[in-house]
Structure 1
Amino acid sequence: MKPLHLERCLRTVEADKAVLCSAARVPYYPLVVKKARGSWVEDADGNRYIDFLASAAAVNVGHCHPRVVEAVREQAEAFMSYTAVYMYHEPLVCLSEALCRITPGNFPKRVIYGLSGSDANDGAIKLARWTTGRSKIVAFQRSYHGSTYGALSLSSLSLPMRRRMGPFLPEVYHFPYPDTFRPPFSGTDEEIADYHLDLIRRAFADYIPGEEVAAVIIEPIQGDAGILVPPVSFMKGLRSLCNDHGILLIAEEVQQGFGRTGKWFGIEHFGIVPDAVILGKALGSGLPLSAIVAREDLMADWDAPAHCFTHAGNAVCCAAAYASVQVIEEEGLIARSEEMGNYLMERFRALQDSYPLIGDVRGKGLSIGVDLVKDGKTRERHGEAAAKICYQAWQKGLLLSFFSGSVLRIQPPLVITREEADRALEIIEEAMRDFLAGRISDEVLKTVKGW
C-alpha cells in the first residue's frame, strides 16, 4: 500500500485545532477536502478517495453535479438572497410545488423552510403543539434529530451530547425503538413490534394521557442508531395508534430522504402516510436548507413569526434543491439506489460468511449498516474494529465512517458506479484482514473518535 502524502492536510488539521471548537467536530481521520466530483473526493495533498459517506448522506446526486452547479451559478448571478420572510421569489415556489408533489400523501400540503435538519425538528415540535393545542411529544430511544434545543430534546443517542446542557424541552417522552438484531427477547418480528407498541399503549393508559399527546416524531429508519429498520407491523400499528388518539405522526426523513433508501422517503417502505415530513441534508445537495412539508390544514393558520429565519428558503439553496429533485427523477436515481443497495447488501452478506466479525447487514437502498461484533452469539459491539477498519480504509483510498459505536455507515452518493462500489468493497475486505491480523496500530484510536 502506497503511503498517503499528507503534508498540507496535517498542517490544516493542526491550524483547525487552534481555532475551531471541538464541540462541532467528530473526527475520523485527517482528511482536508479540496475537491469533490460524483463519488470521488480529493484532499489538499492530491490523494483521491471513493466516497462511501456522501457528506453524511447530504449529497445524494453526487458531488458538484453539473445540473446543480449550473442552477447555483445562474441564481447567484441573478441574486443570492432576499429574505423570503418579507418578499417572494420564484425558486422558492418551484421547489415548494415539487416537494408537495413528491412527499407522501394525496392531500393538499404546505411547506415551511429552515437551514438545517435540526431547526426543522424544532419546527415540527412547534407546529404539532400549535395545531393540536397539546403539549406532549413522543420520540424514541437512540434517535438522533440534531443539535438545537428542540432536536436535542427529541434525541436520545449520546450521553455527551446531552451532558451539562439541560434542562431540555419538557414533556418529550422516549420509548424503545424496535431493534430486531438486539431485541429485548427472542421472538418474531411481529412479536417484537407488538411488544414495543404495547409499551406506548400502556403509557397512554397509565401516565401519558393519549389525548394530551401532540405528535409522535420518528425516524422511519433510524440512522445514527445504526440503520435500524423496524418491522412493517410496528409502523402500521403506530399509525393506527396515532389515529385512535388524534395524534400527528411526523416522519423525520432528514437522513433517509431523497431516494437514499430506494424510495423518495423511508416512510414509503411501510405503506403508511404521515401527517408531516421533516427534510434536510440532501434537500440542498450540499447547501444549507431544511423544510417541513405538512397537511395544509395543519399549517393554514400557523401565525408568523413562529418559524422564520432570514436566510431560510434563500434563492440559491432553493435553485440547488429544485435541480436536485429534477436530477433524481430524470436520472432514475431512486431505482438506481435500490439496485445498487441490493447489490452491496448481497456482497456484504457474502463477506459475512468469511468474516464472523460482521454480525448483521441491514438497510434499504443505499442506506446500509454493517454491524461489527466481538461475538456472534452475544452480539457485543466491536467499536475498536469499526474505528481501525475505517482508518485503514481511508489510508487505502475509501472514505468510510461508523456510527452507533460499531456499525459501518454505507451511504455513498446515489450515482456511484458498480466499478467504484466493487473497489470500495475490496478495500473494506483488505482493511478487515489487516485488523484481524493485528496490522493496524492502536495509535489510530487516538485520532478516530467516531460516533
Structure 2
Amino acid sequence: MLREALPEIVTGSVPGKSAKALLERRNEAVPKALCGATYPICIKRGEGAMVEDLDGNKFLDWIGGVGVLNIGYSNPEVIEAVKAQSEKYFHTIFNVIVHEGYVELAEKFNETIPCRGTKKKTYFANSGAEADENAIKVAKAYTKRPNVICFSGAFHGRTNLTMALTAKKAYSNGMGPFPAGIYRAEFPYLYRAPKGYTESEAIRFYIEKLEKVFDEQTLAKDVAAILVEPLQGEGGFIPAPIEWIKAVRKICDANGILLIADEVQCGNCRTGKYFASEYWAEAGAAPDIVSTAKSMGAGAPISAITASEEIMDSVIPGTIGGTYCGNPLSCAAALKTMEIYKRDDYPAKARHIGDVVRTRFESFKEKYEVVGDVRGMGAMLGVELVKDKESKEPYPELVSKLIQCALQKGLLLENAGSAGNVIRFLAPLCMTDAQMEAGLKIYEEALVEAMESLK
C-alpha cells in the first residue's frame, strides 16, 4: 500500500520516460511561468505522505502542497464525504441559496478559532490570498481607516492587494501599480538581529522599528490593521516571538488598530495547536481576525475569515462574497477534515513529528558548519544554511543542490527565505514513523552529498 511505502526510485534517476513525455506536453500547453524544472514530478497517485509518479517512483513529500496536505493525500473519509455531497449538488452561490454545509462549517470555525470575542462569525473564500484580502476588507469596514501595516519577509498572496503586502518583489515583478496605504515594518528575525543583542534586546529593537512606522510612514490613527504571520512561511519559517506579539497587541489596543493573524500556512494543526494564534491567546494577545486556508480542506479550494460578531457585522452588504465562496464540495471536505483533526488529535501528531525532526535537525547543526539555524513550531520547521556560522552568509547554492540530491533519492524538499537559503519542513502529519526516519536519513545523506559537490 502506497500509504505505508518508503521512498524508492525505480528508474535510476528522475524524471523517467513517462514523466518526461508529460513534462514536454506541459511545456507546449502551459505558460512558461508555470513550467519550472526544479521538480520534474508527474503524479499518478498520492496516499498519506507518499506520491507515486507515472514511472512508478515513490517519493516522500515533505512539501505537502506547500502546507496544504496536513491530513495527507487521499484521506478515505474525506473522499467519501465529498462523494456523498457530489451526489446531492455541486454548487450553490451562498448569497442566493443557502446550504447547510456552509453554515455548519462556520459554526465549527466559530467554536475553534482563537480570536477575540465571545460570539464569532465566519465566512469563506477560495484561497489564502482571498482570505487575507477579505480580512483587510473587514478591518477597514470596522475601523473606517485606510491603511495596513505588514512586515519584511511577509508572503500574503498574488492578488493585486496581497502582492503589495508581500515583501519579496519577485512575486510581483512587473505587476504594478499597487494599492496605496500599505506600509512595512521589520519582522523580528532573531537569528539575524543586530550582532551582540540578547533576545529581549532584539525584540525591543524590532518593536521600535514598528513604532517608527507611525512617525515616518503613516499615523497610527489611519491604520486599520497590522497583519502578521504567526510563523512566516516564504520569509524563512521564522516564528513571531511571543513577547513581540504581546507588545504588538498593546500597540494595537492603544491605537484602535485590529491585529490580523495570517494562518493560511501555519493553521490547521501544523504548529502543535489547532491554530498557532492559540499560543498568542494563551499569552493574553489573541488576534482580532484570523485568516486561514491551505490544509483546511484536504486540498479542496477553501479559505476562512473569522472575527467577532461586532467586527464582522460592520461589513457593508455587497462588499464580501463571491460565486464559488464556500462551495458545497469544499465545505464537505473541510467539515470531514476538521472532524478527523480533532478526533485523531492532529496537533499531538504535529508535536510528536516536530520533536523527532527538530532533534535530528539540531544534531545536524552540531555536526555541520553549514547549518546555521533550526527554528519553527511543532511540525513547521526551517533549517537555514549558511557558508559559515560566524558570518551567517546565506548559502542558496547549497540549498538548491540539496533539493536536487534529495529528489533523486525520493524525498521532496522546498526552499524558503528571502535569500532562498532555508529548507522548509511541511510533511503531512499522517506520515508514519518509518517514513519519517527514512526521510531524515535521506536528508542527511543529501546534505553531505551536496556539500561535497560544492567543494
Same fold, judged at TM 0.5 (above): yes
1:207 positional shift: 4.5
Corresponding residue for 1:332? Answer: 345
2:287 matched to 1:274? Answer: yes
- The answer to whether the 8 A contact 1:28-1:401 is kept is no
1:108-142 alpha-carbon deviations (Å, 9 max, x no partner): 11112111001111111211111111001000011
Match of 2:358 in 1: 345
Q: Aligned residue for 2:245? A: 235
1:62 aligns with 2:72: yes
Residue of structure 1 aligned with 2:121, choices 110, 114, 134: 110
CA contact (8 A) 2:370 2:388 kept: yes
Q: Report Cα offsets for 1:63-96 as digits up to 9, x if no partner.
A: 1111111111110111111111211111111111
Please give the alpha-carbon distance, in whole angstroms, between the structure 1 residues aligned to 2:35 and 2:203.
35
Partner of 1:449: none
Which of residues 401, 404, 408 in structure 2 aligns to 1:391? 404
C-alpha offsets along residues 288-307 of structure 1, whole Å, 9 cap, x if unaligned? 11111111111114123212
Structure 1 residue 356 and structure 2 residue 366: aligned? no
- Within the candidate set 175, 179, 183, 2:185 is matched to 175
Q: Which residue of 2 aligns with 1:298?
A: 311
What is the one-letter code of the residue matched to 1:101? E
Secondary structure in structure 2 of the residue aligned to 1:139: strand
CA drift of 1:437 comes to 2.1
Q: For residue 333 of structure 1, what is the amino acid of its counterpart?
A: Y
For 2:64 and 2:341, the matched residues in 1 are separated by 15
| TM-superposed deviation, 1:269 | 2.4
Residue number in structure 2 paired with 1:101: 111
Q: Aligned-residue CA RMSD in angstroms?
A: 1.6
Q: Amino acid of the residue matched to residue 256 of structure 2?
A: G
2:81 aligned residue: 71
Deviation at 1:18, TM superposition (A): 1.5
Cα displacement (A) at 1:160: 2.1
Structure 1 position 198 matched with structure 2 position 208: yes
User: Higher mean Cα deviation, 90-99 or 351-360?
Assistant: 351-360
Runs of at least 4 residues off by over 6 Å? none
8 Å Cα contact 1:190-1:234 kept in structure 2: no
CA shift at 1:213, angstroms?
0.6
Confirm or deny: 8 A CA contact 2:293 2:303 kept in the other structure.
Answer: yes
Question: How far is 1:61 from its partner?
Answer: 0.9
Look up the match of 1:408.
Answer: 423
Structure 2 CA distance, aligned partners of 1:189 and 1:331?
36
CA contact (8 A) 2:385 2:421 kept: yes
In 1, Cα distance between the equivalents of 2:232 and 2:215?
Answer: 26
**Structure 1 range deviating more: 196-205 or 37-46:** 196-205
1:443 corresponds to which residue? none
Letter in 2 for 1:434: E
| Whole-angstrom distance in 1 between the partners of 2:216 and 2:28 | 52
CA distance in 2, matches of 1:156, 1:206: 19
Check conservation: 1:190, 1:231, Cα contact below 8 A: no
Displacement of 1:254: 0.1
Q: Distance in 2 between matches of 1:435 and 1:185?
A: 29
8 Å CA contact retained: 1:121, 1:150: no
Question: In the TM superposition, what is the alpha-carbon distance from 1:206 to its structure 2 partner?
Answer: 5.0
Structure 1 SS opposite 2:349:
helix
Q: Provide the residue aligned with 1:288 in structure 2.
A: 301
Q: How many pairs align?
A: 439
Pick the aligned partner of 2:139 from 128, 139, 142. Answer: 128
Equivalent runs, 1:141-220 vs 2, <5 Å: 141-157=152-168, 159-220=169-230
CA distance in 2, matches of 1:195, 1:437: 39
Does the CA contact (< 8 Å) of 1:100 and 1:293 recur in 2? Answer: yes
What residue number does 2:63 align with?
53
Amino acid aligned to 1:315:
P
Q: Aligned partners of 1:180, 1:409: CA distance in 2, in Å?
A: 17
- Where 2:192 maps in the other structure, the secondary structure is coil
**Distance in 2 (alpha carbons) for counterparts of 1:205 and 1:182:** 25
Contact 2:128 2:294 (C-alpha < 8 Å) held by counterparts: yes
Match of 1:431 in 2: 446
Give the structure-1-normalised TM-score. Answer: 0.94
The residue number in structure 2 matching 1:446 is: none
2:95 is equivalent to residue 80 of structure 1: no
Relative distance call for 1:40 and 1:207 in structure 2 (3 A) is closer
Say which of 28, 32, 50 aligns to 2:38. Answer: 28
Q: 1:429 Cα shift?
A: 1.0
Instruction: Provide the identity percentage.
Output: 32
Structure 1's unaligned 5+ residue stretches are 441-451
Contact 2:190 2:202 survives alignment (8 Å): yes
